[in-house]
Structure 1
Amino acid sequence: MQSELFVATRDMGGLAIQLCYYRGFGEFKATGFVTGTGQLLKLMNGVSCLGGRTQISRVLAHAVRETRAKPVKAVVFIGDCCEEPVDELCHTAGELGMLRTPVFMFHEGEDAHARAVFQQVSKLSGGAYAPFDRNSPQVLKDLMAAVAVYASGGARALRDFSRRNSPEVKRLTRQIR
């Protein structure tokens, strides 16, 4: 999947990805930006899971800081639940929207509260929401490729990409302003 993100955007100037994750008791990490599949795969393989509360607010606040330093074209969040105050998340999502940094919220599972929060965050930021489940890795792959195309080529490139792609990518594309 990582290879295809970079291949999908090669003709549009490429893609730089920063991996952010949280885990355990208050641990939050952000890597440098990488531009190659091998680099990203090495970073991702170095991450292990630990139980703990969600820290979505830290991800969004980090995106604000990064965007203020150098514009970030898109943020992707993949998660299954939300255990944080909704108003704080929505406030930061609105700030990202004002900075023109859309957040794409990809929701694994059926948690109704998470769905509602993720939909609000994506809408306030100018991004999009899409559900998936662990039995449909192709859906997540298609959605990630769509965001990569958007980040590299904008809304027009995403519309062109969605014409020849899955129904999930088409739904994602319709949410973009």
Structure 2
Amino acid sequence: MAKPPARRSTSGDIAQFLQKSRDITEFVERQPRLIFAIDATASRQPTWDRASHLQQSMFRASGKINSLAVQLCYYRGFGELQASRWLTDSDALARLMGTVQCEGGHTQIARLLRHALQEHNRMPVQALAFIGDALEENPDTLCELAGQCGLLKLPLFLFQEGHDSAVEQCLQSMARLSGGAWGRFDAHSAEILAGLLGAVASYARGGRTALETLEGDSAKLLLRQLNH
């Protein structure tokens, strides 16, 4: 038996679809924006797995997901830097993170910061949160870029796994120059990451005032550095 012909889209259907697409785009563009960046080189796989599970806790800590747009960025392998579209759905972000496999390679923090500045120039980004344990680039270059972020009101919240003193010194300088903050992430205390990211997300949504209303050590840690 022959199938009936498929219904053709009318000009009204197309207009309705395009309007819905525009409405979604405008909704995302109105939300406070947070870049969530992570080192996805080979040594980062355990942290990436934890972050994938913890990011929903981050959004619960910061309030309703539909009040924040997040762009996931990561670097890995030979010169690969990926940036997602802006997402307002924590489940979509979790699924995206779950598809990523870490690969060996060098850090690309400078390239990440240049990308963040480009995004910020197109439309303001309230904060960048970064998780990493290594730094294989010129600290002066990174501090220069962090200073540019500071001038443009794009604070960097930099979370270090491990205790490399050279990495710590550079990340702390970058955080200070950008007007952001540095924090330690203990691989054996994953809840620390959830608390810190939740505090950063709250900052992205409501600035210093939102942080001041939070309880807990994570908010206090960030506030102490922001007040300096």
TM-score for both structures, normalised by structure 1: 0.93
Distance 1:24 1:95, change over 3 A: same
Letter in 1 for 2:125: V
**2:156–2:181 Cα contact (<8 Å) kept:** yes
Greater Rg by CA: 2
Where 1:21 maps in the other structure, the secondary structure is strand
**1:12–1:152 Cα contact (<8 Å) kept:** no
Structure 2: distance between partners of 1:111 and 1:83: 12
Equivalent in 147, 156, 167 of residue 209 of structure 2:
156
Structure 1: distance between partners of 2:198 and 2:67: 12
Letter in 2 for 1:17: V
2:198 paired residue number = 145
Deviations 1:74-99 (A, max 9, x none): 00110001000011111110111011
* Aligned: 1:99 with 2:152: yes
1:3 paired residue number = 56
2:67 paired residue number = 14
The unaligned stretches of length 5 or more in structure 1 are: none
Distance 1:11 1:46, change over 3 A: closer
* Aligned: 1:174 with 2:227: no
2:177 paired residue number = 124
Aligned length: 174
Letter in 2 for 1:149: S
Deviations 1:118-166 (A, max 9, x none): 00111110000001211010111100000000000110111111xx21x
Question: Structure 1 stretch 9-18 or stretch 133-142: which is displaced more?
Answer: 9-18
The unaligned stretches of length 5 or more in structure 2 are: 1-53
Letter in 2 for 1:169: A
Deviations 1:9-61 (A, max 9, x none): 33697111101000011111111110111110011111111111100001111
1:78 paired residue number = 131
**2:212–2:219 Cα contact (<8 Å) kept:** no
Structure 2: distance between partners of 1:138 and 1:8: 12
2:113 paired residue number = 60
* RMSD of equivalent CA atoms: 1.4
Identity of counterpart residues, as a percentage?
A: 45
**2:66–2:89 Cα contact (<8 Å) kept:** no
Where 1:33 maps in the other structure, the secondary structure is coil
Which 4+ runs in 1 deviate beyond 2 A? 1-13
